[in-house]
Structure 1
Amino acid sequence: MQTSHLTHTDLVSPFSFPRPLPQRQLGRNGPVIAALGLGCMGMSEFYGSSDEAASLATLQAALDAGVSMLDTADMYGPYTNEELIGRAIRRQRDRVLIATKFGIVRDPAQPQLRGVNASPAYLRSSVEGSLRRLGTDVIDLYYLHRMDPNIPIEDTVGAMADLVAAGKIRYIGLSEASAETIRRAHAVHPLTALQSEYSLWTRDPEADVLNLCRELGIAFVAYSPLGRGFLSGAIRSPEQFDADDYRRHSPRFQGENFTINLQLVTQVEQLAEQYGCTASQLALAWVLAQGEHIIPIPGTRRIANLHSNLGALRLSLSQQDLQRLNAVFPPDAVAGARYPAQVMAMVNR
């Protein structure tokens, strides 16, 4: 066994985490918040059956632990996830930074079909709906969820800037935008955050977006930092997924791709065992180590997983640790696209 250079502070159990939580700044001009946020999408949809009572308990546990940012979107549910967050923060609005999104349009008859609408008119109606469902008079961080090929980004961000001036939103973000689009948007109004998928098994942002965000002072909010749960090691077979779990249709969770990717995760588990932490904690620590401007938002519906994820904040990875992780999980080793073809066409625009 190689000697570990990873350091930790009193990581006596997978559920211990530092108090207070380490902090990071949300962009050059944004607030200082906890270094890990909470992705809330799976509490309402996409990952099988939901349990509102358990989700509300987890949301409360997150706030009590010091988590600052709760991430949602109008299309999660659709709409029901924002309503859930609204119930969770009632009478404690000042404890949370609310991040939500607009722009993805779903067909009521066939919710799996999606389009994008980033027109200023749709933006104005969307923000009013989100404010109402969240039960607040201002959204802290408002993202354009996907880029609309029919609407110049300057028009959308200009309209979002009007919402800042009107006090409806505080900060502007984009999700899954290309480097060129980020530059164009930032020239209209400073962006506070760029949200994209990033983890050991999704390294796309390393090509240019990560460094661009650092250069422009934009926070990089990493969603699915645990590879939609796969990097936890808890998923051993596609048969574990509920019938309505979207991962049943995700290329990385199918057939030979699943087998190849599971072998990679097994190596991460073995490395985590040497370090005395969980695979999830090691994977999150890896994301955190890629830059101080990065804020991961792992999602969970369970308090135990929440506390375990926060335990990653006790870990500090050396360059040797990072090299070992890259050796067992090289950037191009993952098998399969991260989304089906129709959805992949909507990213990095």
Structure 2
Amino acid sequence: MGPFEVPSIGLGCMNVSHAYGVPATSEAAERLLRTALEEGVTHFDTAALYGFGANEELVGRVLAAHRERIVLASKCGMTGVDGRRVIDGRPETIRRTADEALGRLRTDVIDLYYLHRLDRAVPVEESVGAMAELVTAGKVRALGLSEVSAPTLRRAHAVHPIAALQNEYSLWSRNPEQGTLATAHELGVALVAFSPLARGFLTSAPPDPGGLPAGDIRRGMPRFDDRHYPGNLLLRHELERIAGEAGVTLAQLALAWVVSRGPHVVAIPGTRSVSHLRENLAVLDAVVPAEALDAAGRVLNASTVHGARYNEAALAEIDTERCGRAG
């Protein structure tokens, strides 16, 4: 991943502070991060947006003493302003956000700094140019992008080398296969797969859409609504059968599939559960038959999934390629 060597499974830290119902307690969140460190996780991913700064503060509080042992990733370009999520890729905003992040993370340098979203009002060259200045200033070591298309990746890479592209990638979100998976490989860019477990759908405890708390991001996602969720559950049952025959859990099958997509692909599943954390990390030592991975990919893919990954308003905000009927 750019100048860094990381295992193919890292930790996405968003879940404990943002988007999925009520945030975890400080005690539970700190326990999860410490356990991840003990279990050998070296790649931790956060963002200024998550908890509107609370997640960066958590990561800094828990991991600052172990800074030399980890690859620390965070993001700019999308933050909380007066209680609202705002996309802002202006150079002055990026510089300010970086300084704020360094303080919250209790570090002098961020290893990997992403542009969280492309601001359509600001050319990507201007945003990445400001981020490149952070590298020159010694505040950031490497740059990344998130939720962008292959053409945007190329434009950014021409301004400054891009170390990592973080896009959603899982059995049911195949958008990278429309261009960014191959382009990233060509340019020597790591593809960092977020939501590799389909926002909890491909775990031992899939969400009950009717019981999701107010504010849970999945309440607005078509794949979890009444029209589409029953059909997706039928596909999930078939995946459970494949996983059982392969001797792994459904989550392990799903993660193994993602990291098998190329030598440049790494995954950052998030969780609030220590047991799920350990289950996910066990993929690093698991041997999943290629036949099982192929079968899983045939069962759940862009052609078989029910519903788009985002609603139309959210899709309008992102720059990634759309993928068939799945958006």
Q: Per residue, is there more helix in 1 or in 2?
A: 2
Alignment of 1:75-224 (within 5 A): 75-109=49-83, 111=84, 114-224=85-195
Match of residue 69, structure 1, among 39, 43, 48: 43
Match of residue 267, structure 1, among 211, 232, 238: 238
Q: CA deviation at 1:236?
A: 5.5
TM-score by length of 2: 0.94
Q: CA deviation at 1:322?
A: 2.8
Aligned partner letter, 1:346: E
| Alpha-carbon distance in 2 for matches of 1:116, 1:343 | 12
- The SS at the match of 1:90 is helix
Q: Residue in 2 aligned with 1:286?
A: 257
- The SS at the match of 1:141 is strand
Pairwise CA RMSD of aligned residues?
Answer: 1.4
Q: Which runs of 5+ in 2 are unaligned?
A: 321-327
Aligned partner letter, 1:89: L
| Alpha-carbon distance in 1 for matches of 2:67, 2:176 | 32
- The SS at the match of 1:32 is coil
- The SS at the match of 2:228 is helix
| Alpha-carbon distance in 2 for matches of 1:240, 1:95 | 39
Percent identity (aligned): 45
Q: Residue in 1 aligned with 2:273?
A: 302
Q: Residue in 1 aligned with 2:219?
A: 248
Confirm or deny: 8 A CA contact 1:261 1:335 kept in the other structure. Answer: yes
| Alpha-carbon distance in 1 for matches of 2:48, 2:42 | 20
Q: Please list the CA deviations of residues 136-179 of structure 1 after superposition, one character each: whole Å capped at 9, or x if unmatched.
A: 11011000000011111111111111110110000000001111
Q: CA deviation at 1:105?
A: 3.8
| Alpha-carbon distance in 2 for matches of 1:68, 1:236 | 28
Confirm or deny: 8 A CA contact 2:4 2:71 kept in the other structure. Answer: no
Q: Which runs of 5+ in 1 are unaligned?
A: 1-25
Q: Which has the higher contact order (CA 8 A, sep 6+)?
A: 1
| Alpha-carbon distance in 2 for matches of 1:96, 1:135 | 14
Q: Please list the CA deviations of residues 91-132 of structure 1 after superposition, one character each: whole Å capped at 9, or x if unmatched.
A: 2111211111011144424x3xx4321111111101000001
Residues 1:40 and 2:51 aligned together: no
- The SS at the match of 1:77 is helix
Q: Residue in 2 aligned with 1:17?
A: none
- The SS at the match of 1:35 is coil
Confirm or deny: 8 A CA contact 1:233 1:265 kept in the other structure. Answer: no
| Alpha-carbon distance in 2 for matches of 1:346, 1:88 | 33
193-202 or 145-154, larger mean C-alpha shift: 145-154
Q: Residue in 1 aligned with 2:301?
A: 330
